[in-house]
Structure 1
Amino acid sequence: MINSKCTTRILILRSIAILISQTVVSAQSTTDMISTTGFVLDECAIDNITCEVNAVCTVTNGSITCDCIEGYQGNGTACSDTDECVNGTDVCNWKSTCKNLLGSYACECDIGYTGNGTLCEDIDECSKGLDNCDVNAICINNDGSFNCICETGYTGNGTSCDDIEECSDGSDNCDADADCGNTDGSFTCVCKTGYTGNGTTCKDLDECSTGSDSCDVNANCVNTVGSFICACKTGYSGNGVTCTDIEECSNGSDNCDANADCGNTDGSFTCVCKTGYTGNGTTCKGNLLFSLNPETAVGPIRECCNGEFRDRTTDT
């Protein structure tokens, strides 16, 4: 008869043998399943490894690790953003601005440039009409920007240009004998009346020699600096622009002898000794035969006596 204690031991040993047998079968089945299906167990999940949200769990040679993803730094269980702009690991163009983002960064071309940030080219604001220069200014493009320069004749900062009053501020180059006239962005120089030239150089105009005077045909033209004078010729009266004949005979301005006849002519007069007188008209003497006045007789006085002529003597 078998002892009850022995029976109990036998049952325990049998259970252990069965459990070992099942474990071996289970392990063999698992190996067979991996080899036949290609299925890999997620050991990170099985072992309940907790990596940071910005990290990944990897198994290498049976070792499980947590690594921060690109753009983050740390031990895997704790990851912080990497500032590529600060540490210089960005690839932004030198003409762009680096802006840090969570886990990454962005490159933006600076004002005046265009591109994707890693490649930036200058924008020609002048040719594209993107400048803000005044309508009276010249736009000059430069690297990344532009300049506005007021055109000649204007003053300002380039974005606002005002006309320069050259005539009033004395910056013109007109001759002293020229009139300065302001125009939009410039000025004009015109020689004054009586002068000729291009305005920057003016010289006296000789109206008398060029025939541009207004003197009467019976007047003398006398040139002066910047002008001329008209003077009526002798025998005419007036202001020089208009001259009329002087009636010397009627106004008594002639110098004819009392025994002469005055005859007016255009611009003058004539003196002719009257009949019985000889001379140039301004001086007249009586003829011998016709003189009744011994004081005006010319030559020796002869008198008739008894049908004969003889010189009169002073004897009585």
Structure 2
Amino acid sequence: MKKLFLILLGIMFYFSLLKYSVNGYPYQCSINDLANDTLNIYTGAPVLECPGYIDIISVNVIEDANYLTIKISVKDTISESSESNIYYYFLLDRDNDPKNNCNDPPFNFCDTFYTIRIKNTVTVSKSIWNPWGWSDESTNAKSIFESSNTISIKIPKNEIGLNSNPKELPWRVITEIEYMCGDFAPNSGTAILKRYFYEKNIVITIPVEVPAIYIDGIEYKPSNGKVEISLAPGEYEFFVPQEIPISKHVKLIFIEWSDGVKDNRRRVKITEEGLNVTCIYEKYFYVKVYSPIGNTTPPEGWYPEDEKLTIGVVEN
């Protein structure tokens, strides 16, 4: 009986962890790194005398509904200022396509990387690989000192276009103190963040005239009046245009979502059940009545389809 109780307790604990993983941090990838394995990141030669705040101990990559968060833990305390440049790099292959990655070490295996730079201040930058080399782009990513030996970078997912693809996201972390030494995690190749194992079906029905729906700023184009995608459980911002011009005298105006929400921009919580919702629009026509003998009714303007209008003329 005691053995059965322990088994049931273990099963309950497992499912409580699974539920937390789905609703809190849907996708995670954690790796540990050996201490005292610092090196010259450009030549690969070992460097034994290297500050502990460069020596990676572990990295945890966490993806939730809106952000990709990378927590980098090192052996010793991280200073918030330095006489030399200190770098913490997060490399990723955004589309999981090796053909368009940089091939030059140490920034190979990736098409995008973020840099936390510590000197007199702490800054965050973003770099994108192009056929002609690396170029900088603006970023809303933030650095956070989580503890004395852990620093993190929080990246908005819509900034790197992360949606339901790719299913596997290759990544790597590099540290460096300028002209001295650094560390890799993993030591070779990349780690893989496996994504969308808990994805839920999302079906959004919209009029065929509506060109796209936006979820957290990412554009999704419909096929035959439907957007069908998969999203992890979590909270998202949905947006559809308020008005859709069809011609000079015809347009669609958003009325409501089929669940009763009146705002065309709304927050939606995706649960285990997924989501099936319709965007309801009404067609409007521009009406202008003219008569040479007097003033006309109704007034010139937009009127909804199926509204009955009584046309009249008041003689001058």
Do both proteins adopt the same fold according to a TM-score greater than 0.5, normalized to the shorter chain?
no
Write 1 or 2 for the structure with the bigger share of strand: 2
TM-score grouping bracket, smaller chain normalisation: under 0.3
Computing the radius of gyration from Cα coordinates, the structure with the larger value is: 1
TM-score between both structures, scaled by the size of structure 1? 0.22
Write 1 or 2 for the structure with the bigger share of helix: 1
